[in-house]
Each structure stands twice: as C-alpha cells, then as structure tokens.
Amino acid sequence: MLTQEQKQKIINFYKDNIQNYWIWNPWSTWWATDYTQKIRFQALCNIWDLNEKSILDVWCWYWALCSFISDYFPNVQYTWVDIVPEFIALATSQNPSAKFVQWDFTDMDFPQKFDYVLASGVLSHNLSGNNEICFGMIQKMFDLCAVGVWFNFLDKKNHPLTDDLLPYSFQEIYEYCKSITDKIFISNDYLDYDFTIYLYK
C-alpha cells in the first residue's frame, strides 16, 4: 500500500509534466516519444490476442495504452485505474466504452478477476521502499489475472537512476517473478533501455 507521501509524489510528478509538456505528449509520462511508446505497446499486441478479453490497465496515465489496444482489438473489455484525477476525467470523455476508476491500485479490492492485467511504466517510480511496492504490485496483478500479466521496466544497464525514476536489472525482476510462476517470458530486444515481462497462469 502506498503512503500518502508516495501517492502525492506520483501525482505531483505527472501534474508537473502535464504543465510542462501538455497531456497528449508522451513526455508528460516521461516515455520520451510517441514512437518509443508505440514500440512498447506493440510488444504487447504482438504476443496476445486481446479481442473480447477483459483487461485491467494499472496506472497507465493518459490512456494511450487503452487507445492503442482498442485500435487493434475493438471488442476488448477495458478497465483502467489511476490515482491522478485529471487523467480520469479526460480519459472518461475520450474513451466512453472503457471503464475508468480513480483509486490507488495497491489499496483497492477488486470484486472480479480479469483475463489480463497490464502496467506500462508504473513500476519505474523512484519511491522509498520501492522494491516492496514493486513486488507487491506484481503479485497483486498476477492474483487478479485469469490468463496473464504484462509489465515493463527501465533497464538499469542503459538507463540512469534519477530522483523520479528507478531502473532495474531484468535478472532481478526475473528472480522475483520465479517465486510467483515458472511461466515467464522476457522481451528485451525492442529498446536499449527497456524490458518487458509476461507472466502466465
């Protein structure tokens, strides 16, 4: 569970970036460019057929992943949870077929499971007690999925540590994920400073 201080740090991070870069710009989420963001999303759509599946999107900020997936899989059942109120309000107006909920994922009880649970970029925040938060979210995402989980990280091999962003080694994440399931796939060949993990039930 996030502390109030941790929540506020995340909210302030995105509010500041929205003011500096405009909400539609990938820099508002520090994902650099529209091109690199789409490469990350494509890594997901190349692996799974999400059509007519239920999706939980965890803290994926300005609903870019929702829009991207909906273009590929028009019959997807999409639920999106976030803690930034500005994102929720705008996302609801832009994607009327999806369900958007303002809540802290780490402190939220879900009444049902989803076929897939997704998280793009949300595990790279540099917070106190980051490993506990990160690994707790991975476990919760896996518990909530019926089929699989997809999430990505900044790779510490090529991305620096900053006040806001914390990169990991894929070996560290892999070792933790092995404690959850032995059905793991890692993709680290699409960007130099990024890697993606897929976990299967």
Ordered per-residue pLDDT tens for the chain, 201 residues: 777 777 777 767 766 666 655 544 444 345 557 777 788 888 877 788 999 999 999 976 656 788 888 888 989 998 988 887 777 777 777 777 778 787 788 888 888 999 999 998 788 777 766 788 889 999 999 999 999 999 998 898 887 777 777 888 989 999 999 999 999 999 988 888 889 999 999
Structure tokens at 151: 């999430």
Residues 6 or more apart in contact with residue 194 via CB below 8 angstroms: 36, 40, 152, 153, 154, 155, 159, 188
List, edge to edge, every strand of the sheet that includes 114-119: 99-102, 77-82, 54-58, 114-119, 145-154, 194-200, 184-187
Give pTM, 2 decimals: 0.83
Q: How far apart are CA 47 and CA 11, in angstroms?
A: 31
Which domain covers residue 174, as residue numbers? 4-200
Contact status, residue 183 vs residue 201, Cβ threshold 8 Å: yes
What's the domain count of the chain? Answer: 1
| CATH classification of the domain holding 62 | 3.40.50.150
Q: Are 100 and 82 in contact (CB under 8 A)?
A: yes
